[in-house]
Structure 1
Amino acid sequence: MLGRVASKRLLEIRQYPQSSGSLSTALNYHIDSPDNNPNVPWEFTDANKPKVKEILSHYPSNYKQSAVIPLLDLTQQQHGGWLPVSAMDAVAKVIEVAPIRVYEVATFYSMFNRSKVGKYHLLVCGTTPCMIRGSRDIEAALLDHLGVNETVTKDGLFSIGEMECMGCCVNAPMITVADYSNGSEGYTYNYYEDFTPKRVVEIVEALRRGEKPPRGTQNSERINCGPAGGNTTLLGEPKPPPCRDLDAC
């Protein structure tokens, strides 16, 4: 059995690399630091405690551990986009499991960050369709403009990461902006699609000014996921096929 102290202090949960790209934010192990160690007090805010109860209500009382992912998500929103060890311990206490069980989940999914991120965490899709459509150029534009790699900008506003397949390949390339600037109450997670290197810099500067750029496609010729420039086929309502007379059966 893994010792409790060892599991809390070392958190040496080996994992496969989450991305082969240069912007992976995965960590293979934990090392205590002044702001990230088991002795740092952490608890859910008064505003989030009812949300914890609501999440738990979705599961039978003897299967509390099934709530680990939504609880970690709420925890990350409250803590500015990342999960310190003491926050994961708090989740373990709520669902009544050993802390190692929560660490296993937090280290497996790339949606959970175990180091500090910016108030705006920019995630570039690195899967094949986006790569073919220029996602590496988008990464390069962000890195050059913000002057960071896997760290947070000096003003604490921005960090960059990579995510695999955001599920909107038709509008490639694309990024997600996880907005932690207003805590869990104002948390948003928006897709921005059809990017060019110039447009991604414009979005960053709009966020810096406190603006909320329109999400979705950034191509003015496209409506949602429709073809750029409009339809070239299916220009009218489709003619329905003839139906048999069910009453005659």
Structure 2
Amino acid sequence: MPLTDETRAKAREIIARYPKSRSALLPMLHLVQAEEGYVSPEGITLCAEELGLTKAEVSAVATFYTMYKRRPVGEYLVSVCTNTMCGVLGGDKAYQALSEHLGVGHDETTEDGQFTLEHAECLAACDYAPVMTVNYEFFDQVDEESAVDIVRRLQTGSSPLPTRGARLCTFKQIEMQLAGFADEREGATGEGPAGTPTLAGARLADSVGVTVPGYDPNTPIPPVPPKDEKK
């Protein structure tokens, strides 16, 4: 389907943020996915026209990064880390359980268009392994049962709160944020707490009086939760 004039206007808004126009290509590809659900041929043409690039140059970038999809993605992109740390701690089993539950394999989408499943090489959260993300929001220390439960709740219309970060949104909505546009949903930002491993270094530094230039000593650091509250 043709992209709208509004999409082209947003693309030009992105370009205006950068001193060199071609630097805008990555967020523009996210914009295309926000509109189309994937990097469509029309989206590649739009990026090429607005940036003065060839379609081959745009396609080369779009095919290099796994975050850009060449087929339509479901409402929810479910990514399970199967790299070494997560894999040996249960990520492989969680992925297999999700594959069996959804009836799809890697980079495949369910018939109802709701879920796309993928195994990810690394989600950069080894201290929370094994992890999975739904539209790039983290669910930490999952196992076969909890991973399937998250998807099952989405299937029944519930919206489980990620372990960290904002509440879940659709794939197209998160792509619009990755394109650099604010999340307009009321109360959507700053909902998820920071996890204990994330704050460990800050707590240690605070305990021994180590600071960095510009640090505000009045910035609150949440206390370590009691043992029974840790996950």
Contact 2:78–2:116 under 8 Å retained in 1: yes
Q: Distance in 2 between matches of 1:238 and 1:200?
A: 36
Cross-structure match for 2:12? 53
Contact 1:129–1:173 under 8 Å retained in 2: yes
Cross-structure match for 1:121? 77
Decide which of 22, 35, 49 is 1:65's aligned counterpart.
22
Q: Scaled by the length of structure 2, what TM-score is found?
A: 0.69
Structure (1/2) with the larger helix percentage: 2
Contact 1:170–1:225 under 8 Å retained in 2: no
Contact 2:94–2:144 under 8 Å retained in 1: yes
Q: How far 1:42 sits from its partner (Å)?
A: 2.3
Unaligned 5+ runs, structure 1: 1-40, 179-188, 218-222, 242-249
How many residues align structurally?
176
Q: Distance in 2 between matches of 1:166 and 1:123?
A: 9
Contact 1:125–1:175 under 8 Å retained in 2: yes
CA, structure 1 residues 45+172, in 2 after alignment: closer, same or farther (shift >3 Å)? farther
Cross-structure match for 2:35? 78
Q: Distance in 1 between matches of 2:91 and 2:46?
A: 37
Decide which of 63, 71, 81 is 1:107's aligned counterpart.
63
Q: Distance in 2 between matches of 1:134 and 1:239?
A: 36
Q: Distance in 2 between matches of 1:238 and 1:137?
A: 39
Contact 2:78–2:132 under 8 Å retained in 1: yes
Unaligned 5+ runs, structure 2: 165-192, 211-231
Cross-structure match for 1:194? 141
| Paired amino acid for 2:22 | Q
| Paired amino acid for 2:17 | H
Q: Determine what percentage of the aligned residue pairs are the same residue.
A: 31
RMSD across aligned C-alpha pairs, in angstroms? 2.3
Q: Distance in 2 between matches of 1:45 and 1:158?
A: 29
Contact 1:203–1:213 under 8 Å retained in 2: yes
How do 1:100-179 and structure 2 match up within 5 A?
A: 100-150=56-106, 151-178=108-135
Q: Distance in 1 between matches of 2:71 and 2:117?
A: 12
Q: Distance in 2 between matches of 1:89 and 1:159?
A: 25
CA, structure 1 residues 204+113, in 2 after alignment: closer, same or farther (shift >3 Å)? same
Deviations 1:173-229 (A, max 9, x none): 111112xxxxxxxxxx31111101111111101112232211126xxxxx74326xx
Q: How far 1:49 sits from its partner (Å)?
A: 4.2
CA, structure 1 residues 120+239, in 2 after alignment: closer, same or farther (shift >3 Å)? closer
Q: Distance in 2 between matches of 1:44 and 1:129?
A: 44
Cross-structure match for 2:195? 225
